[in-house]
A and B are shown apart, each in its own frame.
Chain A
Amino acid sequence: MADLAVKGRSRQKAAPSPWKQKKRKPSKPGSGVASLNGKWAYVFIAPFIAMFLIFGLFPVVFSTQLAFYKYDPLSLEQTWSWVGLDNFKDILADETFWISLGNTFEIWALSTFPQMIMAIGFAAILRSRFLRGKTFWRTILLVPNITSVIAVAIIFGQLFGRDFGMINTAIGFFGLEHIDFIENSFASHVAVATMITWRWVGYNSLIFLASMLAIPDELYESASLDGAGAWKQFTNVTLPGLKNTITFVLIVGTIGGLQVYAEPLTLAGDNGGGSSHQLSTLTMYLYNESFINARYGYGATIGILITIIVLIISLINFVVTRRVASEDK
């Protein structure tokens, strides 16, 4: 992404717009804006750099330091006490950490894969020649994405209520036992995954749609000449054409999936994530240890471990993406 931006900028420099050329007066050496280019650049990027230093770099350095200490910001005498690698040792032996890690990945898997299938399905429907009011349907699909996460979580929390929730009422109508969507570990993950899917499926189907529209019509025409039906066309023309987009959606979904916070928090109702931490995710556990239990060092250590996990996943993504790209050539 960064590479692209730089390339774009340099291209602009090489070929300034005709409008600019017309207006610009021939500048004398040593005067005017042109000669100050170098210095002005710093001024223009200063706000970003300042923001980055304060909100980006400083927290990273600070929390790395925290991970090796027991930190009590309210104390007058003993604010920092060195504990070495104790925090890391404790976490690796901490059952709750592993539970949270497992929950995070389970919710990720439950939300990403069904969502992707649905999104491709929606995109195929939206692309269909027979669909009327395309813009309307496309807009409708994006509405869940612009609603607030908390509002979504509260509404779904009511849908999933154990005794009076709509879903359980429906289940009870068929004479089946009510499902406890908060206490039951798997059911609670399904509930959270449903919220995430509902919010993101429209967004992803628009991305798939864009990518589908880029597949040349000739491919479909020649496929139908070869006698391929609608399903054959879909599997042999559409899906291969979506390969890059699927990788992209997967990567974005993974990054989002590791940060799931508001949905499980609102459903569980507390930062611990329920009685056996069945709804606790990595970010929830980080917040709970840092700010509810005031164990800042421990929380920072969780943060570092999350970073390591993200790095590993990014590495896997990188390898996979490269393979996909090289296959295309």
Chain B
Amino acid sequence: MSKNKFTRSLAGVAMIATVGAGLLVAAPAKATAPAVTLSIWTFGDVIEPALLRAYKVIHPEVTIALKKADLDPSMTNLTTSCSAYVQSHRIGNPPDIAAVEVSYSGYWRAYPQCFTDMRTLSTSSANANAHDLVASSSNIAEGLSANDIKNNYLAWRWAQGTGYNDSVIGIPTDVGGLEVAYRTDLFKKAGLPTDRAKVSALWPTWDKFIEVGKKYMTKVSKADKKKGVGFIDNVGTIYAASMNQGTYKYYENNGTDAGKLVYKVQGMAPVYDPKTKAQKIDPKTKKPMFKKGWVLNPNILKAWDRTIAADNAGIGTRIGQYTSDWNVGMTKGTFATILAPAWMMDYIKGQAPTTKGKWNIASLPGGGGNQGGTQLTIPKWSAHTQEAWDFINWYLAPQQQLTVFKTYGLFPSTKSIYNDPSLTGFKDPFFSNAPVGSIYLTGIQKLKPIFEGKLQRAIDQAIGAGLGRVSAKKQKSLQSQIQVMIDLDKATK
């Protein structure tokens, strides 16, 4: 008994001590906001660490927890999380902010029930004095909804984050843009001009680009060819670049959630001979045979033919991007050009630091280009909607995007700073002091919004596989197109 009593009194003392300590701590804490952990689901380098450090200074009480995955798995995670919410209102461990890549934006547009409509949100005073705490940061006014900040952003990028009923489900981060990064030393060796204006003038169209590639390849020694040296890293990238220069891809906006699929159209389809695996020739007229049937839409065919033409010309190395071969090839000079979005410049710097000063940037054949881009969304089941909205408004505000551009090379999606001299005049010594700011700006402004449909990512992958089959000589172009249509019919069923 006596032992029991002793224990109990000890517990009492401990309790008093704890409560006392709690009071002592609680008193000064009253002044600041309660601690919040913002959970952000992201991939790649969408959220940059330098800005997170700045945000920590402005908001010591906000802890940002990044959960990174690869692009496709991150979308699978979001699907799982949202289905748990939609099906049974289970919350679990929700993301407060989720990054959605542009190739999936059409998919998520079909499910607005997963996202908070940002028109209904309103910024608090949390970042009203951010500039006082971090000099490079801008202040964010109180009471801003998505409608109030819309005009800051590039129209076609903004549209990628809007749902059907005009709801706003995501705010754009950066713009990819797309230009040609080329190696001046290798161009010089091949007897090509090295000056960026002259290089850009070499290839106003894709056909001319392929011509230049052929010319380059004639200067490559036989031994180097055997080692896999080429003009461009991967001709497959021409497909995506060419598609983005059109006005539509696989879907048409018909006012429905999913959009209308237009990857195939009725037309004169080539008659395919399963024996020779090529187009049948009419024995009488000696001309290729056609009959009425389904064909891939003209935009796809145009991009497809360009890609195959480049492949047949033998100007590509067929190294897959983001593979170990690619990283090695970048340093070794296995290829002289890469179709590079703005965000890839940072990747090149990281992977091939020894090539500093050997790169330059020329404009993309066929006009402006884009590749990639991300929206930050707030899932409906987020536990900290207000804090998430405050963070997004600060993080994607023009001033902060400018900082990211200067630090990491991601091109801002906020058009309000496109006249800023620190952007237009920005030069990168790694890329022979190319004025990357103004180069990418010119390309970006030429683009028109493209309707991104629900299954765009899957369709892109099926077509990419089709091009790969032709390139690996497994199938003839026509045969591969027919299989692509079969695959797409299945994928979109």
Q: Let me know if A271 and B113 touch, CB within 8 A.
A: no
Cβ 8 A contact of A73, one of B72, B79, B226, B458: B79
Residue of B nearest to A278 (CB): B474
Q: Let me know if B325 and A162 touch, CB within 8 A.
A: yes
Q: Which residues of A contact B323 (CB under 8 A)?
A: 161, 269
Q: Let me know if A269 and B320 touch, CB within 8 A.
A: yes
Q: Which residues of B contact A162 (CB under 8 A)?
A: 228, 318-319, 325
Q: Is A106 an interface residue (CB 8 A)?
A: no
Q: Let me know if A75 and B111 touch, CB within 8 A.
A: yes
Q: Which residues of A contact B475 (CB under 8 A)?
A: 276
Residue of A nearest to B465 (CB): A275
Q: Is A240 an interface residue (CB 8 A)?
A: no
Q: Is B472 an interface residue (CB 8 A)?
A: yes
Q: Let me know if B474 and A276 touch, CB within 8 A.
A: yes
Q: Is A144 an interface residue (CB 8 A)?
A: no
Cβ 8 A contact of B319, one of A79, A90, A94, A163: A163
Residue of A nearest to B473 (CB): A183
Q: Let me know if B469 and A275 touch, CB within 8 A.
A: yes
Q: Is B89 an interface residue (CB 8 A)?
A: no
Q: Which residues of B contact A277 (CB under 8 A)?
A: 465
A188 to B325, CA, bound (A): 17
Q: Is A157 an interface residue (CB 8 A)?
A: yes
User: Given A73-B86, A75-B111, A163-B334, is A275 in contact with B491 using a C-beta cutoff of 8 Å?
Assistant: no
A79 to B72, CA, bound (A): 23
- 376-392 of chain B: CB within 8 A of chain A: none
Q: Let me know if A163 and B491 touch, CB within 8 A.
A: no
A194 to B228, CA, bound (A): 25
Q: Is A178 an interface residue (CB 8 A)?
A: yes
Main secondary structure of the interface of A (DSSP, over half): loop
Q: Let me know if A74 and B325 touch, CB within 8 A.
A: no
A161 to B319, CA, bound (A): 9
The stretch of A21-29, A121-129, A291-299, A306-314 in contact with B is A291-299
Q: Is B83 an interface residue (CB 8 A)?
A: yes
Q: Which residues of A contact B466 (CB under 8 A)?
A: 275
- 222-251 of chain B: CB within 8 A of chain A: 226-228
A184 to B458, CA, bound (A): 23
Residue of A nearest to B107 (CB): A294
Question: Per-position contact with B for A203-218: 1 when CB-CB < 8 Å, else 0?
Answer: 0000000000000000
Q: Is A81 an interface residue (CB 8 A)?
A: no
Q: Let me know if A161 and B468 touch, CB within 8 A.
A: no
Q: Which residues of A contact B52 (CB under 8 A)?
A: none
Chain B nearest CB, measured from A89 CB (Å): 12
Q: Let me know if A157 and B324 touch, CB within 8 A.
A: yes
Q: Let me know if A76 and B86 touch, CB within 8 A.
A: yes
Cβ 8 A contact of B468, one of A164, A172, A274: A274
Q: Which residues of B contact A275 (CB under 8 A)?
A: 464-469, 471-472, 474
Q: Let me know if B458 and A183 touch, CB within 8 A.
A: no
User: Given A74-B86, A294-B79, is A163 in contact with B469 using a C-beta cutoff of 8 Å?
Assistant: no
Q: Is B357 an interface residue (CB 8 A)?
A: no
Q: Let me know if A164 and B474 touch, CB within 8 A.
A: no
Q: Let me know if B72 and A271 touch, CB within 8 A.
A: yes
Q: Is B87 an interface residue (CB 8 A)?
A: yes
- 176-200 of chain A: CB within 8 A of chain B: 178, 180, 183-184
Q: Is A65 an interface residue (CB 8 A)?
A: no
A55 to B424, CA, bound (A): 57
- 441-493 of chain B: CB within 8 A of chain A: 455, 458, 461, 464-469, 471-472, 474-475, 490-491, 493
User: Given A74-B82, A163-B334, is A158 in contact with B324 using a C-beta cutoff of 8 Å?
Assistant: yes
- 142-182 of chain A: CB within 8 A of chain B: 157-158, 161-165, 172, 178, 180
Q: Which residues of A contact B76 (CB under 8 A)?
A: 291-292
Q: Which residues of A contact B474 (CB under 8 A)?
A: 183, 275-276
Chain B nearest CB, measured from A33 CB (Å): 26
A205 to B319, CA, bound (A): 38
Chain B nearest CB, measured from A307 CB (Å): 23
A193 to B193, CA, bound (A): 48
Question: Per-position contact with B for A267-310: 1 when CB-CB < 8 Å, else 0?
Answer: 00111101111000000000000011110000000000000000
Chain B nearest CB, measured from A144 CB (Å): 21
Q: Is B307 an interface residue (CB 8 A)?
A: no
Residue of A nearest to B72 (CB): A292
Q: Let me know if B472 and A180 touch, CB within 8 A.
A: yes
A75 to B464, CA, bound (A): 29
A158 to B325, CA, bound (A): 8
Chain B nearest CB, measured from A123 CB (Å): 35
Residue of A nearest to B334 (CB): A163
Residue of A nearest to B82 (CB): A74
A178 to B472, CA, bound (A): 13
Cβ 8 A contact of A163, one of B227, B455, B464: B227
Q: Let me know if A270 and B86 touch, CB within 8 A.
A: no
Question: Per-position contact with A for B105-132: 1 when CB-CB < 8 Å, else 0?
Answer: 0000001011000000000000000000
A172 to B225, CA, bound (A): 12
Q: Let me know if B72 and A163 touch, CB within 8 A.
A: no
Chain A nearest CB, measured from B107 CB (Å): 8
A193 to B33, CA, bound (A): 58
Q: Let me know if A73 and B83 touch, CB within 8 A.
A: yes
Q: Which residues of B contact A165 (CB under 8 A)?
A: 325
Cβ 8 A contact of B458, one of A161, A276, A292: A292
Q: Which 5 A-B pairs have the closest CB atoms?
A: A275-B468, A73-B83, A163-B228, A183-B472, A275-B465
Other A-B pairs beyond A79-B87, A272-B461, A276-B475, 4, CB < 8 Å: A162-B318, A163-B227, A276-B472, A294-B79
